Amino acid sequence: MFILLLLLVIAAVGEYFFFNSQVYTYKKKLLLVTRQIEELRNKIIPTNKKMNEKMDIVYLPTTYKIGYAKENSFFYLSPIEDSPSVYRCSKSTKVEIESCAQVLNNTWYNVRLFSSDFIMKGWIKESDIKFVFDENTVVEDTL
């Protein structure tokens, strides 16, 4: 009987150490995966100090209805520089200006690009657009 009790105690201690090592191994793996996910998240979504600031969007009247997006300018999903870009103009392209907004002291224009293949909408920075006062006059700076 004593030998049976001793075997049960040895088996219980062995199981304890076995499962304890398994838990330790899984904790290490979980910490490693969590760290890798955090590193990938930081690569995809960089930390932006401005996002912690209060963000007011002030819509302004626009005096221009037509403009030209400058070469190599980007259309963004929202009027924030860290927003994903939805399109890149490889050349100067005519756009229709739908609205104007000021965000974090930067002026942005919500524009629509008409192409034979697609219609693209997005936000473009004021510095990346040339304004058309009439069909013969292109204005570089805003009023």
109 lies in the same domain as 60:
yes
Q: Is the same domain home to 69 and 32?
A: no
Contacts of 140 (CB under 8 A, 6+ apart): 130, 131
**13 shares a domain with 59:** no
Q: How many domains does the chain have?
A: 2
DSSP string, 73-125: -EEESSSSTTSPEEEE-SS-EEEEEEEEEEETTEEEEEEEEE-SS-EEEEEEE
- Co-location of 87 and 36 in the same domain: no
Q: Yes or no: say if 67 and 129 are a contact pair by the CB < 8 Å rule.
A: yes
Within 10 angstroms of residue 96's Cβ, the number of other Cβ atoms is 15
Domain that holds residue 61: 54-139
Same domain, 81 and 120: yes
CA 77 to chain centre: 9
Each of the 143 residues of the chain gets a pLDDT tens digit; together they read: 888 889 999 999 999 999 999 999 999 988 988 888 888 777 766 555 445 567 788 999 888 889 999 999 999 988 988 888 888 888 888 899 999 999 888 999 999 987 767 788 999 999 999 987 655 555 555 44
Q: At which residue do the structure tokens 């473009």 appear?
A: 124
Torsion angle of C-alpha atoms 140, 134, 120, 51, degrees rounded to 10: 40
Q: Model-level pTM?
A: 0.59
33 and 97 in one domain?
no
Q: Are residues 23 and 84 in the same domain?
A: no
CATH of the domain at 118: 2.30.30.170
* Same domain as 133, residue 64: yes
